């Protein structure tokens, strides 16, 4: 594999408990902190500033490894790349009222067809660097697919547990890419308990969302990339379909780091967490003014990627919403499918249900006066719409015509 850089250029400095601030050695494998909270990578930002300028970083060859001084893979030998490109920004034209400034960041163009590739590329690379060999994960589909692909390409073993009603295409994708796959009669947090047992009994590395520190850093690249694409003046509002919340927390972390480096001005976007009414623990916590969310019972939604009844990073999501002046909002499955059909029909852009949820949430927020018509808005389409069951030809889920 082509070596991109050496450990001398590494700027990742230590790990920090996201609740207590307690420090941990970055040179050894870690899961959660002693208090059971996610660990975050902290960088020597002076060293970053001495090593590279924002202009130099942006001028590098495309793909998110260009941001390597702000990523935790120390040595270019351990970069596991399946060809991650910059994902495009696509302005909606016909599916929004004239004059609205709504742009889709289409993450479906990444390897394995979802933005889970960002997180897993970085986490698997770092796992290899730390000498881990057997990675295990509970998943609703896309994260497992990305883990399977990147683990295989890195020569590591992946064991994956998913709810038995996980979309068939995801199950086949994971199995086809060499993962050991188990279907579980339960939801993702119940799969997580099985992984936990394997960690204790067989020494697997727990690759659950936010239970290792490095997937977050991969997801952070969405924020770095947006800052690059917008040339320093970020959009006003970001709508993000929120399950475990890695992307939302990661982007917020990226913006903080860019501000601390003096690379962008500190007018940051409002972060909006979008959930489905059938599984909305973060929205409930937000509306109740809680610092943490509680388990959502009988979670159900067509948007499988955001069917996450309990998130270990709940307090970090809520904190990012608060700090950014954003909010949390839920939309129904009916609104989601209607949005998916509308954007595809009117703008030719096939969103995944989770991405469609952000469109429905934007429309709803506009009606409720939570965002203004003048706001420049980003909607995250997290996966290619082609991975999901589509309406039959000649019919669509919202309209009367046959
Ligand atoms: C995982 C996933 C999400 C949720 O992402 P988080 O960062 O974990 O909240 C949303 N949509 C799709 C398609 C996903 O696969």
Nearest to 163 by CA among 200, 130, 189, 132: 189
Ranges of H-type helices in 102-238 = 116-129, 142-154, 168-176, 188-202, 215-229
Question: 225-241: buried (b, 16+ CB within 10 Å) or exposed (e) per residue?
Answer: bbbbbbeeebbbbbbbb
pLDDT in tens, the chain (402 residues): 456 788 777 899 999 999 999 999 999 999 999 999 999 999 999 999 999 999 999 999 889 999 999 999 999 999 999 999 999 999 999 999 999 999 999 999 999 999 999 999 999 999 999 999 999 999 989 999 999 999 999 999 999 999 998 988 999 999 999 999 999 999 899 999 999 999 999 999 999 999 999 999 999 999 999 999 998 689 999 999 999 999 999 999 999 999 999 999 878 999 999 999 999 999 999 999 999 999 999 999 999 999 999 999 999 999 999 999 999 999 999 999 999 999 999 999 999 999 999 999 999 999 999 999 999 999 999 999 999 988 788 655 655 544
CA nearest to 187, candidates 311, 312, 309, 332: 309
What's the rounded Cα separation, in Å, for the pair 125 and 78? 5
Nearest to 380, CA basis, from 208, 222, 225: 222
The DSSP letter of residue 211 is T
**331: part of which helix (H) or strand (E)?**
strand 327-331
Going by CA atoms, what residue is nearest to atom 2 of ligand 1? 305
pTM of the model: 0.95
- List ligand 1's pocket residues with C-beta within 6 A: 114, 116, 142-143, 209, 241-247, 305-306, 352, 354, 382-383
* Phi, psi of 29, deg, nearest 5: -65, 140
Q: Candidates 114, 174, 351, 381: which one to mutate for ligand 1, based on the most atoms within 8 Å of Cβ?
A: 114
In the beta sheet, which residues pair with residue 182? 161
| 39 within 8 A of 215, measured Cβ to Cβ | no
Contacts of 59 (CB under 8 A, 6+ apart): none
């Amino acid at each position: 594999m082509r070596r991109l850089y050496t450990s001398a250029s590494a700027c990742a400095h230590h790990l920090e408990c996201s609740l207590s601030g307690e420090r941990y050695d970055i040179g050894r494998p870690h899961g959660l902190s002693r208090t059971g909270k996610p660990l975050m990578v902290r960088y020597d930002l002076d060293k970053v500033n001495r090593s590279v300028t924002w202009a130099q970083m942006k001028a590098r060859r495309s793909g998110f490894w260009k941001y390597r001084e702000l990523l935790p893979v120390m040595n270019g030998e351990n970069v596991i790349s399946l060809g991650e490109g910059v994902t495009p920004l696509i302005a909606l034209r016909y599916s929004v009222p004239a004059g609205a400034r709504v742009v889709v960041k289409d993450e479906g163009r990444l390897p394995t067809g979802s933005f889970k590739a960002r997180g897993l590329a970085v986490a698997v690379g770092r796992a290899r660097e730390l000498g881990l060999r057997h990675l295990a994960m509970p998943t609703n589909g896309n994260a497992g697919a990305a883990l399977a692909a990147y683990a295989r390409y890195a020569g590591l073993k992946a064991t994956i547990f998913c709810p038995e009603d996980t979309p068939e295409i995801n199950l086949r994708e994971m199995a086809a890419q060499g993962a050991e796959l188990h279907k579980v009669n339960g939801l993702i947090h119940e799969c997580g308990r099985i992984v936990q047992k394997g960690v204790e009994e067989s020494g697997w590395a727990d690759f659950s969302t936010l239970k290792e520190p490095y997937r977050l850093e991969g997801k952070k690249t969405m924020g770095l990339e947006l800052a690059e694409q917008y040339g320093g003046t970020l959009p006003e509002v970001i709508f993000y379909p929120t399950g475990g919340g890695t992307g939302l927390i990661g982007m917020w972390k990226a913006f903080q780091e860019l501000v601390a480096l003096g690379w962008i001005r500190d007018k940051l976007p409002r972060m909006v967490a979008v959930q489905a009414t059938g599984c909305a623990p973060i929205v409930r916590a937000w509306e109740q003014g809680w610092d943490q969310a509680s388990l959502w019972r009988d979670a159900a939604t067509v948007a499988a990627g955001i069917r996450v009844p309990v998130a270990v990073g709940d307090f970090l999501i809520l904190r990012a919403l608060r700090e950014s002046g954003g909010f949390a909002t839920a939309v129904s499955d009916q609104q989601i499918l209607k949005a998916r059909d509308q954007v595809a029909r009117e703008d030719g852009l096939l969103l995944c249900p989770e991405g469609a949820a952000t469109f429905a949430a934007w429309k709803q927020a506009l009606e409720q006066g939570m965002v203004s018509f003048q706001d420049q808005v980003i909607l995250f389409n997290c996966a290619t719409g082609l991975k999901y069951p589509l309406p039959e030809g000649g019919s669509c889920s919202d309209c009367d015509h046959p």
